[in-house]
Structure 1
Amino acid sequence: MPHALRSPAARGAVPTARRRLLQLSAAAPLASWVASPLLAAARDDAPAFARVRPGEAGWPADAAWQQLGARLAGQLVKVRSPWPDCVAAPASAACATLFRQAKNPYFLGDEVALTQTLGWVDAWTSSPSVYAVAARNTADVAAAVDFARQHRLRLVVKGGGHSYQGTSNARDSLLVWTRHMHDATLHDAFVPQGCAGVPPVRAVSLGAGALWAHAYDAVTTRGGGYVQGGGCMTVGVAGLVQSGGFGSFSKAFGLAAAGLLEAEVVTADGITRIANACTHPDLFWGLKGGGGGSLGVVTRLTLRVHELPETFGAVNFTVRAASPAAFRRLIALMLDFYARSLINPNWGEQVRLRPGHVMSVAMVFQGLRRAQAVEAWQPFLDALARAPQDFSVDFAPLKIVATSARTFWAPTLMKRALGFISRDDRAGAPEGNVFWPGDQGQAGQVLHGYQSAWLPADLLQHARRPALCDALFAATRHWGVSLHFNKGLAGAPPEVLAAARDTAMNPAVLGAFALVICGAGEQPAYPGVAGHEPDVDLARRETGQIAAAMDELRKLVPQPGSYVSESNYFEPGWQQSFWGANYERLLAVKHRYDPQGLFFVHHGVGSERWSDDGFTRLD
């Protein structure tokens, strides 16, 4: 999911004291990693690799770029951002159109210079590469990797472009843009290369530029199967799998990474490798949750296809509590109900605790009939009804709905009419360019602050539940929090847990009942565009409130772990937070396949060897 650090002048906007505090806060957790034998070996053995910027000695001459363009048969693009024109003429019709289009995730994805998130205040601003390779195939990707290695360029990879951390864009770089590599091929009996004797399984092969909306269309709507992917339909397939990847039904079908059967990947030496459990198994393991952009450029993924449940469904309603005391009681009721009835493979998605003593329920279910879902929720609704002086319930037009699983992602007329699904509004846009209306808030956003933490299931034990309730209530005194139940695997079947254990994800996810998220932002906005600039003062205030809210929960779980794709840009001790005990093994994979550090992303495997701009080597 865009890495473009600001210019030196813009980076100076970060208060010096705060920047120093961030550096100091990260220093202690980093010490153990710096001292690790594997990292020491990576430092000692790898030859120096100093990247170059435009205008510096070693930057490719025009003739070199022309040779690359000829090799790519026209797929080398000189990138130009539309934002400078908007900065120059903020009141123009063209600028107004750009800000309107920035709310369409498909428009953003189809523009080589743009990313889904436009920045993070005091961290990064979405900025284009100098050149981009609009890759059509693996050979194009290999050509870009070779060119970047030979000329010592900063290399960036973008598929869906959803990175909150800014890892899919960077100034002064060469971009590998995989958007046009989006083929989908279904297999009735797939056996990974080199794995003779392994029982064949149903699978789907997807190009690195495929989005989950298109994957679900191919596998579910047209193919009648299920592939574990992301909840947001405009997220890229390759990025989600490499980050671990959660979908609405992860408690039933597991991590997206755990469903990976085989990957085609171009490594730093420009060689195209097939990685699976039998061929390059170490690289294969690292790609399953080790984070995108650190180990190579994935060009194709083959994922397991599961049997499709008969039904999918959703539960949506809002509860307003009359007082702080009633809100705390409401949180307690929800935790009791969840621990008793919902921590199982049938249920996923989230409950939000919002300012004003409001709880929003946005849950989904699979494999149940509507009547069964109603029966499951009735005890909770009855408890609310018994206290009308404390709770008022606002139901959506259809509070509990069920549908054929095969049409869940299909843009049917009824779903469009009821506002359940939205479509790409550009003339001539493909029929399958759809997204959930609730995800439109991510399009064109500028983040103010964002943190996440896994909450272990033992907090739901009867004796510990009151403390969890108190911590959640205390957190809401500072900021709203969301409990994403599908992003913790406690309650999943044993085979799902076993498959997740064989990924690079932080093992904390195995015993977590939910990922708690606090975030804030605005949209759309862009620095320097008069009338549309990010509100820096507000962002800093909200960042402090988010930190205070999460600190309440960390009193219960001091080192909870965090999901790499939905985490704090300034995460201290990110190696432990994102990958836990798996980080040293990931370093070994990094050292084997990219010893010079060609691939760099913020807080990616091995990135502690580089300054935050990716150009200055620290060792």
Structure 2
Amino acid sequence: MALRNLLTGSLLGAFTLAGSVNGLLADEVPTTSDAGVPYFPSETLQLTDQALASLDKNQSKYFDFGTSDNSTLVTRSQLGCKSLPGDFFWPAEFVWSLFDFVLGGALIKTVPLAASCYPSWSEYDANECDFVTKNWTNSNLHAADSASVMWPLFEGRSCLPNVNGTGECTLGGYSSYAVNVSNVAQIQLAVNFARISNLRLVVKNTGHDFNGKSTGAGALGIWTHNMKELDYIPNYSSSSYSGPAVKMGAGVQASEIYAMANKFGFTAVGGEGKTVGVAGGYFLGGGHSPMSSIYGLAADQVLAMEVVLANGRFVTVTEQSDPDLFWALRGGGGGTFGIVTSVISRVHPKVGVTLSKFSFATGPTVSVDAFFEGVRSYMTRFPAHADAGTYAYFWVLPTGADKFTFLMNPFFAVNHTVDQFNALVKPWFDDLKALGIEISADSKYYDNFYGAWDAGFPLEVVGSTTLLTGSRLFPRANFENETLFNTTFDTLRSTLTSGHALLAFNMKAELPAGYPSDAANPAFRNALMHAITSTSWDATATDAEILTKMEEFNNDVLGPWRKTCPESGAYMSEALILEPNFQQAFYGSNYDRLYQLKQRYDPYGLFYAPTGVGSENWQVKSVDGLPDQNGRLCPV
């Protein structure tokens, strides 16, 4: 039964109705997906050829489905740079009004989150500005906005909180419009509209990606954050799996899936960050987890997906229906092959966890050499700890001249009682004691994952514009081969003594036996440490000074890391945007196949993401010369 309101007459007639009529252009379709479970209610509202036929030709031309029979290079050369506001081919206001009408009023014209701080904006409000300023580093603030991203450095720093109301606030690299998605038809309409109108398209749930994949100047954003549907499936069955599963909407975050898991008594593989979106860029990029040492990456858990393709069609993707796309979507990167509206993921039995936090530091009784011997003793035990199924999140911080602190925050010992945890770490703790390092571990057992995770991992601090991070996946050989280990440890010590912090995860992420292969970075499969470091600059630094600092960090800090394991790579969602040869670093031996599939499923070049598959065919002409998204997107 059609749920659409038929649009008739001229374009003018269509949008004059928009104030009083819900114009959602959609049909209700059968409720069961080809994945063998019901669609979410949001997925039963789809754009169909029948729905499009209700429009006249002047209207439907903006929303027609595409075909996939042209080569990418020809299509890119025909379309040229993506349109920006003010361009001759930028859609006129009445076209945006028509678009909003057929969306059912879901179109949002972007206002920067900090516009309330600037008298030049009608949204100026001192109280609101004070709220935004005080909460700018809180990830929840940015997740709940249709255009804001966690790291505004990559948007272009065009509108930052300023309680003095001085300076400029411009749209910069934020998307110009966003669709507040509540159903599949809206995604299809947005995909078709962007493709036909030659608009840049970005997809955002929370905006967590370290490189700003969900922002872009002049873009149309698809904001999936409110697609929060969740279903527990006690007995899911496919050709290769039979057991419990969960179906998650594209807007579901870690805290939400973990709360459901706790309620129903299962364990899900999701991120450690509280506000990270699970069913979007996280699993599409691989996604490491506190459960990874046992069950692998988040991408490995996926059994089926519902996806809107670049041609606007809505499809179910399983290992049987489309093995190539099923492989590529699981780990091949977000914003690349299509827009996932939901994921069916396998889940696992309830587990107990011992959570432990402790620290030690240099001081009157602990020399610098003793401190680093204590860190060295820990790193020699990475293989044993990861093989025991544990996941550790730790910092090593330079705190002054010849002063250092080690923070375990936390050691997440899955399937370990406190006694078992103590037995596991005893060899290390004995070494610390022999070095004169006294620690007092705060260890507590939880009989479920959720309780330990909620107590163990802090809310993410975001929003910095004076900080740049980079990372590396250090393989098992670097900790088991004595020569490689010595080189690796000396390199990391040099990083710390030069003033750069080390944030790292001791874990493994092997593909579990019997799981289908996927496109996740092969470097994950033999890694025992995902390590992150950073550089910073003064808030008054010029663009040229910032770029110099970025390049020095890339070459002088991360360069030596790469030399210790040149065949390895980095986790794309938490990596340096300037990573040389990103194809090898983020995708490894999978890249050639992924690139070929990109041409098949997106011959239009509609889905662009920085460092994504095929992104080398495009360039952002940023207005400040920095590697951000504040500029026109053009084919190379």
Note whether the superposition's TM-score is higher than 0.5. yes
Q: Which amino acid aligns with 1:504?
A: A
Q: Does 1:373 align with 2:414?
A: no
Residue 192 of structure 2 corresponds to 146
TM-score by length of 2: 0.77
Q: Say if 1:87 and 1:327 are closer, same or farther in 2 by CA, change over 3 A.
A: farther
- Aligned-pair CA distance for 1:206: 0.7
Q: Figure out how many residues of one structure are paired with residues of the other and give that number.
A: 530
Separation in 2, partners of 1:575, 1:350: 27
Partner of 2:229: 183
Distance 1:43 1:542 in 2: 32
1:57, distance to aligned residue in structure 2 (A):
1.8
Which residue number in structure 2 is paired with residue 228 of structure 1? 269
Taking structure 1 as reference, are residues 406 and 571 closer, same or farther at Cα in structure 2, changes over 3 Å only?
closer
Match of 1:475 among 486, 489, 495: 495
Instruction: Extract unaligned runs of 5+ from structure 2.
Output: 1-69, 160-171, 622-630
* Equivalent residue number for residue 82 of structure 1: 113
Distance 2:449 2:335 in 1: 33
Kindly provide the amino acid, as one letter, of the partner of residue 235 in structure 1: V
Distance (Å, rounded) in 2 between the aligned partners of 1:483 and 1:603: 22
Q: Distance in 1 between matches of 2:501 and 2:613?
A: 31
Q: Is the 8 A contact 1:160 1:239 kept in 2?
A: no
Q: How does 1:53-92 map to 2 (within 5 A)?
A: 53-88=84-119, 92=126
1:209 to 221, 229, 251: 251
Inter-CA distance 586–202: structure 2 relative to 1 (3 Å threshold): same
Q: Distance in 2 between matches of 1:274 and 1:330?
A: 51
Listed as ranges, the matches of 1:122-161 within 5 Å are 127-161=173-207
AA paired with 1:330? G
Which string of whole-angstrom CA distances, capped at 9 and with x for unpartnered residues, describes residues 310-341 of structure 1?
Answer: x11222111223333223322321123334x3
Which residue in 1 is equivalent to 2:349?
307
**Counterpart of 1:511?**
526
Provide the rounded CA distance (Å) in 2 between the counterparts of 1:374 and 1:148. Answer: 56
- Kindly state the Cα deviation for residue 521 of structure 1 after the two structures are TM-superposed: 5.7
Q: Percent identity?
A: 26
**Structure 1 residue aligned with 2:465:** 446
- Unmatched 5+ stretches in structure 1: 1-39, 412-419, 422-435, 526-531
The residue that corresponds to 2:406 in the other structure is 359
* Aligned with 2:302 (options 248, 255, 260): 260
What RMSD in Å do the two structures reach over aligned CA positions? 2.9
Q: 2:390 matched to 1:327? A: no
Q: Please give the secondary structure, in 2, of the residue aligned with 1:452.
A: strand
Map Cα deviations across residues 65-112 of structure 1 (whole Å, 9 max, x no partner): 121111111111122113244244999443221111323322321122
Report the alpha carbon displacement of residue 221 of structure 1 after superposing the two structures with TM.
1.4
- Aligned equivalents of 2:244, 2:412: Cα separation in 1: 25
| Contact 1:450–1:546 (8 Å) recurs in 2 | no
**What TM-score results when the alignment is normalised by the length of structure 1?**
0.79
Deviations 1:258-293 (A, max 9, x none): 101111111110000111101122111111111110
Counterpart position of 1:12: none
Q: Determine whether 1:558 maps to 2:600.
A: no
CA distance in 2, matches of 1:463, 1:104: 42
Q: Does 1:49 align with 2:79?
A: yes
Residue 284 of structure 1 aligns with an amino acid whose one-letter code is F
Higher RCO, Cα 8 Å, sep 6+: 1
Contact kept in structure 2, 1:328 and 1:470, CA below 8 Å: no
**CA pair 343-200 structure 1, distance change in 2 beyond 3 A:** closer
Native 8 Å contact 1:216 1:409 kept in 2: no
CA deviation string 1:593-614 (max 9, x = no partner): 1101011111111111111258
Contact in 2 for aligned 1:474/1:552 (Cα 8 Å): no
C-alpha contact (below 8 Å) 2:246/2:344 kept by paired residues: yes
Larger Rg: 2
Write out aligned runs for 1:417-428 (5 A).
420=455
Change (3 A) 1:149 1:270: same
The aligned counterpart of 1:336 is 380
Q: Name the SS of the counterpart of 1:56 in structure 2.
A: coil
Q: Deviations over 1:323-371 (max 9, x none)?
A: 33223322321123334x3131421122322212322223211111111
2-side partners of 1:542 and 1:62: how far apart? 40
Does structure 2 retain, via aligned residues, the 8 Å contact 1:49–1:597? no
Deviation at 1:229, TM superposition (A): 0.8
The one-character-per-residue Cα deviations of 1:229-266 (angstroms, maximum 9, x if unpaired) are 11102011111010100111211111000101111111
SS state at 2:533 partner: strand
Secondary structure of the equivalent of 1:612? Answer: strand
The question of whether the paired residues in 2 share the 8 Å contact of 1:134 and 1:176 is answered with yes
Aligned equivalents of 1:152, 1:334: Cα separation in 2: 53
After the TM superposition, which of the residue ranges 56-65 and 532-541 deviates more from structure 2? 532-541
Question: Quick check: 1:182–1:209 contact (8 Å CA) kept in 2?
Answer: yes
Cα distance in 2 for residues equivalent to 1:575 and 1:123: 27
Secondary structure (helix, strand or coil) at the match of 2:257 reads: helix
| Counterpart Cα distance in 2 of 1:513 and 1:406 | 22
